[in-house]
Amino acid sequence: MKHKIKYWVARLQARLMSRLAPKTLHVPTDHAVITFTFDDVPDSTLYYGATILEKYGLRGTFYVAGGLAGTSETSRKLITESGIRELAERGHEIGCHTFSHANVAALKDAQLQSEIDRNRSFLSRILGDNKGGHGPKFNFAYPYNAVSYFAHRRLARNYRTCRAGENRINRGAISPQMLYGMEIRQPEAHSLQLTREIDAVKAQPGWLIFFTHDISETPTSYGCTPATFEKLVQYAVQSGCEILTVDEALDDYASAHAV
């Protein structure tokens, strides 16, 4: 029961955000863009995810929760401070989760601002000015993809965009606090079938933002193997779609329209 209520509250928040938050970002439907993003940033994304993208001359966006950095969980290790620095030096974009991976929808206003500030100062200390992005602000991803409509103004003041889940492609007028993401996860067969989403964005252009967690030979439920990840990257390259980081896609859209 508790689970069901949580589920419906999350659906409601996502719907409020999609409908009511100001749609100030226009995703053009005349050319297709694909972005690969990583949440939490397990260290395997540096060894496999970043390396596979680089093999094709591409870069990704990595949403770091500073409070998890360098910690070990049962089935994964999170990236260290030097790993984060290395990602940025290799040209990848560093984005933000909340510092402690707290659910935005469960935080009071002051708690949310503290999470935002802690993560920003954590990353600024490690990266200096090199956040591997182009915009003046970091991009953000909601932990657990849990959106909070009530936080949208605070998030808008602090971040360039906020990425959720929803497994949809972004097209036309959208809220920058409600970028849709498409999850690469287990089972492996499910992730391999995501090539059809690449076909879909090619056929009807917009912005397809993939997200995943670990890229590992023994992935958690929320990750995939290096082989599957590389198949998706390869397929995206062959599709002829533009493959950009979140910041690069926003710069691309801003040059076509005033954002």
Q: How many residues bind Zn ion (CB under 5 A)?
A: 3
Q: 172, 186, 165, 258: which is closest to 228 by C-alpha? A: 186
Site residues (CB under 5 A) for Zn ion, limited to 219-248: none
- Between 92 and 131, how does the x/- string for binding to Zn ion read (CB under 5 A)? ----------------------------------------
* 3 token code pair: 């689970």
Min dist CB 40 to Zn ion, Å, is 4
Nearer to Zn ion, 39 or 248 (CB): 39
10, 25, 33, 40: residue in contact with Zn ion (rule CB under 5 A): 40
Q: How far is CA 206 from CA 57, 141, 170, 233, in A?
A: 22, 19, 6, 17
Q: Considering only 12-20, 31-39, 126-134, 249-257, which stretch makes contact with Zn ion by CB under 5 A?
A: 31-39
* 194 token code pair: 């995501």
Nearer to Zn ion, 65 or 88 (CB): 65
| Total residue length of the chain | 259
Omega of the bond prior to 219 within 30 degrees of 0, cis?
no
Query: CA end-to-end span of the chain, whole Å?
Result: 42
Q: Please report whether residue 214 would count as binding Zn ion according to CB under 5 A.
A: no
Q: Please report whether residue 39 would count as binding Zn ion according to CB under 5 A.
A: yes
- Number of helices (H) and strands (E) in the chain: give both, helices first: 10, 10
Site residues (CB under 5 A) for Zn ion, limited to 126-145: 143
**Residues at the contact surface with Zn ion, assessed by CB under 5 A:** 39-40, 143
